[in-house]
Structure 1
């Protein structure tokens, strides 16, 4: 079956430009994403003493089945190293697992500072609903834009890509905002805490603001038509965000003086 022409450069086939700098940029970032993902997997197995719990599995699956297939798929596609269905399958499946998995990572550490079960259930419901509503049309469009060009999947893909990225941006903003608000509440609730604990809380705020800034930059690139750069940076940024999440939990555990021996996630005490 004949392939359609890409409605936006990079959606269907390889990078067709002649910029060596851009090619090097794409290869370097995707290589770094793969390196970070492998490092993350090793780190997860090294800091967890019991391999169970939502935090452990969401981190592991996001890195192993999300980032790695997505990065490999983009490498194969942009450098034309395999038939198009292979990179599309890898990148589409990897992206779906990566973005939802990262949101589950964000959700899984909320219970350390938030005890309202209604909010926690609401956040989990939002993640599940968004995964269904936003991911399924994108998966269909990813294959339709290749094999069903006569059905105008190209325009749909271009539109839904923006809708999907914006939807997941809002989702992560909501979760990070809850974390930031609860962190500020803790700062105001215990004004006599030690300087060390205060510093930890400010570090948590900075990390969450950095995550938000990365999401904002991706949305800006999507709406300015920088599709190839956006997809590659997106994969790289998610590896950075996942590693920052481990830093967030390490500092949060220290702050709340969590009893690690009772932690159902099995995380060893990060010191």
Structure 2
């Protein structure tokens, strides 16, 4: 192994196997970036929103990061300050950008807005804790006073890699935990595709955690040159996995198509809904037609098996059911609402008629108790 493994300036005494390994990791990262960008621009019809921009930033960050380190290691770019500048830009976009990709879709499975807010604050604080100090030491380690900064930079490198891995552990852990909670109570109504996507979401986030553990292994083994190029490859693979599974997750919320608007839906409170809402919709189909009995029904709902599985969320579920059921009752009582009369007639005619009527009422801007959970989701509830 070379005496200088790339912390200061270029690599010294690089062997052919090492050079081939670094080149291979870089090539894989570049290929994944190109492939991912093609998928992004074919998938998104309206190209805006946090999800879209964070995907682009993270993917291009991988490309810039891998390219700049390759130029620095083999001294293709003689000026180390130029290399370090591009390395820093790519590193910020790659690492924090990927965390923002996960954050932008966290509200699809996590109902607690406070948890989502704390995740955002964690990402912001980690920028100040890990990005900024490492940047200062990186420039110092590649300056004429490299001897003063090399050792502190080596220590800070381990700290920041560990810190950002913990950050991704937390976000991925939230996905896994929330998804398992969703899968518990709804076995009676969850579709096969729904359960398959949710299981895949768990598997992908567990795989992301395992990948971060391998990155930590290379860092603590003091294989700096290997760790740097391996990091670019690893982040490109994680980004492709997350893009694929998060799109599947969204497709079960908005099944109308794969090209979608990501402007208002990038944050909680937009058109996207938490998957916990599916439980509300199931309960709604069982709600009594008489609006005066909404309170009694809410009481029965609070004692149902759903309340135990969803823990603190059952109060919010009950409120949602009361509001929606009362709106439906008002629609049915309107003398001039032909759609509501048709809903009533078709419901009495059988299950097939109820499904057809639910779709018809949705198209006319009215929602009946027979509308499916997918139709409610597509309407932005």
In the aligned structure 2, how far is the partner of 1:137 from the partner of 1:7? 25
Query: Partner residue of 2:331?
Result: none
In the aligned structure 1, how far is the partner of 2:249 from the partner of 2:226? 33
Matched, 1:165 2:164: no
Query: Partner residue of 1:233?
Result: 230
Query: Partner residue of 2:91?
Result: 95
In the aligned structure 2, how far is the partner of 1:150 from the partner of 1:178? 41
Q: How does 1:1-271 map to 2 (within 5 A)?
A: 9-64=5-60, 66-83=61-78, 84-147=80-143, 149=145, 152-192=148-188, 193-257=190-254, 264=263
- The higher-RCO structure (CA 8 Å, 6+ apart) is 1
RMSD after superposition = 2.1
Q: Deviations over 1:62-115 (max 9, x none)?
A: 112x11210110110122211222222211221122101010001001011112
In the aligned structure 1, how far is the partner of 2:146 from the partner of 2:10? 21
Q: Is the 8 A contact 2:47 2:261 kept in 1?
A: no
Q: Is the 8 A contact 1:51 1:266 kept in 2?
A: no
Deviation (angstroms), 1:194? 2.9
Q: Is the 8 A contact 1:7 1:155 kept in 2?
A: no
In the aligned structure 2, how far is the partner of 1:87 from the partner of 1:135? 17
Structure 1: state its 5+ residue gaps.
1-5
Change (3 A) 1:145 1:18: closer
Q: Is the 8 A contact 2:47 2:262 kept in 1?
A: no
Q: Quick check: 236-245 or 82-91, which moved more?
A: 82-91
Change (3 A) 1:7 1:149: farther
Q: Secondary structure at the match of 2:127?
A: helix
Point out the structure with max Rg over C-alpha: 2
Deviation (angstroms), 1:150? 6.7
Deviation (angstroms), 1:262? 6.8
Deviation (angstroms), 1:205? 1.1
Q: Give the TM-score normalised by structure 2.
A: 0.65
In the aligned structure 1, how far is the partner of 2:220 from the partner of 2:178? 32
Q: Deviations over 1:120-177 (max 9, x none)?
A: 1110011011012211111100111122537721111011001101110110000000
Deviation (angstroms), 1:255? 3.6
Query: Partner residue of 1:3?
Result: none
Change (3 A) 1:37 1:216: same
In the aligned structure 2, how far is the partner of 1:172 from the partner of 1:95? 15
In the aligned structure 1, how far is the partner of 2:261 from the partner of 2:213? 37
In the aligned structure 2, how far is the partner of 1:60 from the partner of 1:156? 32
Q: Is the 8 A contact 2:51 2:101 kept in 1?
A: yes
Q: Give the TM-score normalised by structure 1.
A: 0.89
Structure 2: state its 5+ residue gaps.
267-381
Change (3 A) 1:262 1:235: closer
Deviation (angstroms), 1:211? 0.8
Q: Is the 8 A contact 2:46 2:261 kept in 1?
A: no
